[in-house]
Structure 1
Amino acid sequence: MRFAISYQSPHHGVDPGNLVAYARHAEECGFEGLYLPEHVVLHPGAALRSVELPPTMPYLDPVDALAFVAAATSRLLLGTGVLLLPYHHPVPLAKRLATVDVLSAGRLRLLTVGVGALPGEARAVGVDFATRGRRADEAIDVLRLLWSGGADGVSNDGEFFPFADLCSFPQPVGGPLPIHVGGSSPAAARRAGTRGDGWFPGGTLPPDERARQLEVARTAAAGAGRDPAALEYTRWAPIDLPEQSLAAYAEQGVTRLVVSATATDPAAQRAQMSAFAARFGLGAGR
């Protein structure tokens, strides 16, 4: 089991010193990586499953913020949880992500993408909300295509992002980045199986539905000629998770748990991280 941590800027704030201290302490504690979420824009009345999001919630741009974190750390893997892929054109996005990976010496390994759930956010960036799933599928293919192309260029005859003979360099360290798929729907689970390197379901799914969707992901992987056992399975967990609860996650096939500090005071956040690290033997735990 691997353990990562999320920095939720709406809750933890956007102070650069606190972000750096949070990331460095996570690294010292032995956490595998750091995740950052995304909303491109919010608006009055925006809500997720009846939970209204205050329009002034401060969401950092995750790619830019991860570059900032990379410069302040040396080992911590970098991730998004989740990047709203349909709201980005994959050609410039391929360059941005490869840049962070190259400058961090190959640490952008926890890229997780989703399709978004706010129609107003899609409209704001000129995306038809009904097409966001197909756009995400094509964008995943385009990213991998650009990250693996040679000097002769690559072409895409797609619905949303057609182009011919493009070269995108530098490319990520060691080849195309792993792309995990997040979401709380059967469609997201199928996308994880057919195109993803891992599945990261939402934290509000009931256990029986989560189990069904995991089976959807694995069945989709097999149907696409991929190895279902190679699909990583990431889950949210509380930062006060008891040690005895770990076995249940392992039995369900979970390969990575992601937690987030719940305290608002930075010192208390670091104390929560240290306690978790000590409880599960992650590293120094200080």
Structure 2
Amino acid sequence: MGRVFPEGRLVYGMQLPVQSQSTIYAEPWEASATATDLAEVARAADRAGFGYLASCDHVAIPRRLAAAMSTVWYDPVATLSFLAGVTECVRLLSHVAIVALRHPLISAKQYATLDHLSNGRLILGVGAGHVQEEFEVLGADFERRGAVLDEVLDALRVALGPEEFPEFEGEFFRFQGLGQLPRPAQERIPVWVGGSSPAAVRRAAVRGDGWLPQGDPRDRLPARIARIRELREAAGITDPVEIGAITEALYVGEPGWETGRRTLTGKPERLAESLRAYAALGVDQIQVRFRSRDRSELCDQITAFGAEVGPLLND
């Protein structure tokens, strides 16, 4: 499997607003945002040279978690398919799909169709999930979700491959003699594994083409990156792995309003200097997030980043 993005260059992507509205990161304006707002943000990122747009995955949020997580979680396949139709170049990332909630043939049908319709722009990001009630109501095994996810990934490698009639037999899933068209446009769908637990790091190392850490601070990244490379070497895997990171919140320029003490603000040169440090840690792609008060400001931030910060990331 080749890399999604060129080696030796720090690429930037972003998690989409509106489609998930956890109180950890959602801006107030997103609560009343529409599909038009989402589409305009996606178009701005596409024009600005972003490597990918990402959409989350939750089916149903229990009442006990609703205050913190909210219940606003768009379906990632529907969302990314919608945005495939209004963008041209930007990659489409599920960050992350909880594929252990579904039979692998269902996920294969959805994501193969998305890749086909987007002319090969899918990156399949996957994770184990953490909401027990969500698994229980769907009849999925929460306690063994890690083992199920491992098998689902093996099954998806087959089901998203070139064969119209894929065959797989495992402990939890088996299928043969069942055809699925269309096939993905890509010869092999890149799989990036999300999570920072020891199990997730191991899964990324031995089953993934990339790693999506879940908000690890910079000082924790080197040890985990080293562990991934160690595990891949021990497993005899020589294919490249793409390492990700989620940056601090950003604001290009001087905001003139309170963006929070952890937001990195200032001139493009200052932001680029700080973000280049990720590459020195071994990171290949950074997921950026901008503070904003409305869609217009967010689009302006995206445009400014692409024009003024992005070109400095690889100096």
Normalization by structure 2: what TM-score? 0.81
Aligned counterparts of 2:199 and 2:224: Cα–Cα separation in 1: 9
Give the secondary structure class of the aligned counterpart of 2:126: strand
1:124-273 superposed matches below 5 A: 124-150=137-163, 153-203=165-215, 205-227=216-238, 230-237=240-247, 238-240=249-251, 241=264, 242-273=271-302
Q: Which amino acid is 1:32 matched to?
A: G
Which residue does 1:115 correspond to in 2?
A: 128
Which residue does 2:96 correspond to in 1?
A: 82
Contact 1:154 1:166 in 2 (8 A): yes
Give the aligned CA root-mean-square deviation in angstroms.
2.0
Normalization by structure 1: what TM-score? 0.89
Q: Which amino acid is 1:214 matched to?
A: I
Aligned counterparts of 1:86 and 1:149: Cα–Cα separation in 2: 22
Alpha-carbon offset, residue 280 of structure 1: 1.9
Residue in structure 2 matching 1:97, options 111, 115, 137: 111
Q: Is 1:45 aligned to 2:87, yes or no? A: no
Q: Which amino acid is 2:250 matched to?
A: I
C-alpha distance 136-264 of structure 1, shift in aligned 2 (>3 A): farther
Residue in structure 1 matching 2:13, options 4, 24, 31: 4
Residue in structure 1 matching 2:54, options 35, 45, 55: 35
Aligned counterparts of 1:256 and 1:148: Cα–Cα separation in 2: 25
Contact 2:222 2:282 in 1 (8 A): no
Q: Which amino acid is 1:200 matched to?
A: L
Aligned counterparts of 1:186 and 1:139: Cα–Cα separation in 2: 19
Contact 2:162 2:187 in 1 (8 A): no
Give the secondary structure class of the aligned counterpart of 1:165: coil
Q: Which amino acid is 1:243 matched to?
A: A
Alpha-carbon offset, residue 206 of structure 1: 4.2
Aligned residues: 274
- Structure 1: which 5+ runs fail to align? none
Between 1:23-32 and 1:273-282, the stretch displaced more is 273-282
Aligned counterparts of 2:72 and 2:117: Cα–Cα separation in 1: 26
Contact 1:180 1:192 in 2 (8 A): yes
% identity of equivalent residues: 34
C-alpha distance 72-206 of structure 1, shift in aligned 2 (>3 A): closer
Give the secondary structure class of the aligned counterpart of 1:245: helix
- Structure 2: which 5+ runs fail to align? 1-9, 252-263, 265-270
